[in-house]
Amino acid sequence: MARARSIELARQFRKAPTPTEALLWGHLRDVRLEGLKFRRQHPLGGCIADFYCAEGALVVEVDGAVHEEREQREQDRVRDEELRSRGLTILRFTNTEVQTDLAAVLSQIVATARGNG
């Protein structure tokens, strides 16, 4: 994905978050989660990360039902490999996990970003 196109897509995604992304962003924005700085819909190479923490070399993805489909799972696998090749750790949470056990999701994010996950 060309850089300019990636940046434009990220802007569009930031303008229209899913309800679950908005819920999680409310806890990640403005360095609210234990002093960790996150960016949302952040371009990384040919990918756009839902949430990115440079300090923790961490990408956090929130997956809706489409990510359960075989084709999408394969795309996610390839994408995750690309991100891992950049030295990043990827955490994937389902919408249901974020909506029903937000405290556990946030705890795992902190532990992973701090190197304890």
Average pLDDT, the chain: 89
For residue 67, what pLDDT is reported? 62
Tell me which residue range forms the domain holding 58.
3-113
62 pairs with which residues across the strands? 93
Share above pLDDT 90 across residues of the chain, in percent, rounded to a whole number: 63
Question: Which of the pair, 90 or 9, is modelled with greater confidence?
Answer: 90
pTM of the model: 0.87
pLDDT, tens digit (0-9, with 9 covering 90-100), for 31-70:
999 999 999 999 998 788 999 999 999 999 999 876 677 8
Domain tally, the chain: 1
Does residue 48 contact residue 9 with C-beta atoms inside 8 Å?
yes
Average pLDDT value for residue range 72-97: 92
CATH code of 105's domain: 3.40.960.10
HSE (CB half, 13 Å, CA atoms) of 22?
Answer: 6
